Amino acid sequence: MFKKILIANRGEIAVRVIRACHEMGIAAVAVYSDVDRAALHVRKADEAYSIGAPAAAESYLNIQKILDVAERSGADAIHPGYGFLSENAKFARACSDAGVKFIGPTAAAMDAMGSKTRARQAMEKAGVPFVPGTSRGLDSFEQAEEVAVRIGYPIMLKAAAGGGGKGMRLVQASTELKSALESARSEAERAFGDGEVYIEKALLNPRHIEMQVLADEHGNTVYLGERECSLQRRHQKVVEEAPSPIVDPDMRRRMGEIAVRVAQAAGYTNAGTVEFLVDQQKNFYFLEMNTRLQVEHPVTELITGLDLVHLQIHIANGEPLPFQQDDIKIRGHAIECRIYAEDPDNNYFPSPGKITLLLLPSGPGIRRDSGMYEGWTVPMDYDPLLAKLIGYGTDRGQAIGRLTRALNEYFVGGIKTNISLFRRILNDPEFRAAKLDTGFLDRLLKQKETMPDSGNSQAEEVAVIAAGMFAALGSAAAGAGERVVNDGVKEVASPNWKQAARKEALH
């Protein structure tokens, strides 16, 4: 087994991987940029190395600097987390050239999935269902027009190198096709240095459901059930749950077997995720494969009882999977909220700054994966994901109840977070009825935020009482209860937590 693993990442996922290392008796090496010197992952690791300037290109995306740290520290493996270098085939290749095990798939498997058109060609051969369209880049406008007429509007133009909706255009009618093709192409060129664009038939308000797979280096591949990820905003997932409320055991088996076929067609090893679009009739279509551990992996861990990071490390160590498909049982229901440092009152704009007070939820059925601590300053240089709060229960209703209760215990002072958004989502009748699709969150955010339990003349009275309470709480509420002790070090005065919590409850 590896003696020392370097974690080429930061934030909550770096902490998550460090914890797995420590559970397995493996030393953990952190890397940090100049603004992350005091970050939680640095504090939790056994050793930490500076990798320079805040800009990711200079630090967390710098292959040479990370491999230098691997050599200096004597690490025998690297875990890339998600984002940054996690899906970079060049990095995977550089690790293997340097004699350090990359904990993830091979560079060849990443390459096979890196281009959507190449992936569609491979899946066509493997008999995997995918959305009708082209599996090659478009050569001309005339060709695009011909294909669009054949499959029928509305259509989607997508960048072959794409992801996160970049270079994607919904085209409703032939009159829009020419300008959409031009703008998709130039956006793809700018974002990926690759202007290849292809066509898919557009599904309207589909669900986004993904299947977790695990493959060892001995040819065994299993699926671990699906995650419902339809609640997104601007291609950023906000809430994920497992299992999907619309997937029954038969559909799960069919989707799982397709996902295994996808992984095998790509020569896939380690943990990966096969994404599907699901239409209103519950037909599912292969979309793409993510060749990394995903942010939302905890919901799968909770319903399967498996530890995906432990398994990734065992697989990378060359061990066969310790179970077969029939051994995997799904039990209970889990829902994850992604806690971002962003301001709900300012169009969810990033809100970095110092965390002056932190009150943490716990209790039955609650898991919290976090990269923040009280007194830490959230830098503005990276993705604003602070933490994930996950609720687990015997069924969906219990998971919602526990998560709602835990969200009400959570208080992050000094910065803005999107915690209030989750209270709205979890309270929404459509969400509770599991009527989810990729248009849900935009619809919810367009509704005017109304006072809970009011919607009448009481609202005005509540607002007056709230204003009075704000005034009464005064500076303690505004400053979240900081006082300065010796050396100018700020400390939180303990009795103020009640006031801070009352202030938050007013939201």
Task: List, by residue number, the catalytic residues.
Answer: 292
| Per CB under 6 A, 231 contacts ligand MV4 | no
| Per CB under 6 A, 215 contacts ligand MV4 | no
| Per CB under 6 A, 190 contacts ligand MV4 | no
| Per CB under 6 A, 206 contacts ligand MV4 | yes
**Stretch of 202-210, 247-255, 354-362, 390-398 lying at the interface with ligand MV4 (CB under 6 A):** 202-210
Count of CB atoms situated within 10 Å of the CB of 493: 14
Kind and range of the H or E element at 20? helix 11-23
**Stretch of 28-36, 103-111, 200-208, 388-396 lying at the interface with ligand MV4 (CB under 6 A):** 200-208
Site for ligand MV4 in 433-472 (CB under 6 A): 438
Gap between the terminal Cα atoms of the chain: 50
Binding mask 283-302 for ligand MV4 (x = CB under 6 A): ----x---------------
Angle between helices 297-304 and 308-316 (to 10 degrees): 100
Return d(Cα 126, Cα 222) in angstroms, integer: 17
Q: Where are the alpha helices (DSSP H) in 164-212?
A: 177-192
**Stretch of 2-10, 136-144, 201-209, 411-419 lying at the interface with ligand MV4 (CB under 6 A):** 201-209
Site for ligand MV4 in 380-439 (CB under 6 A): 438
Token digits of residue 304: 């399967």
| Per CB under 6 A, 135 contacts ligand MV4 | no
Pairing of strands 490-492, 411-413: unpaired
Closest CA to 310 of 350, 283, 338, 270: 270
> Using the rule CB under 6 A, which residue among 156, 197, 211, 341 binds ligand MV4?
156
> Using the rule CB under 6 A, which residue among 74, 129, 152, 165 binds ligand MV4?
165
Angle at 338 between CA 333 and CA 343, to 5 degrees: 145
> Using the rule CB under 6 A, which residue among 29, 42, 77, 277 binds ligand MV4?
277
Token digits of residue 152: 């029928």
> Using the rule CB under 6 A, which residue among 70, 103, 203, 480 binds ligand MV4?
203
| Per CB under 6 A, 20 contacts ligand MV4 | no
For residue 456, the minimal CB distance to ligand MV4 (Å) is: 35
| Per CB under 6 A, 208 contacts ligand MV4 | yes
Is the Cβ–Cβ distance between 127 and 261 less than 8 Å?
A: yes
| Per CB under 6 A, 232 contacts ligand MV4 | yes
Sheet holding 77-79, edge to edge: 47-50, 27-32, 4-7, 77-79, 101-102
| Per CB under 6 A, 184 contacts ligand MV4 | no
CB neighbour class for 76 (10 Å; exposed up to 12, middle 13-18, buried from 19): middle
Interface residues with ligand MV4 (CB under 6 A)?
A: 131, 156, 165, 168, 200-203, 206, 208, 232, 235, 277, 287, 438
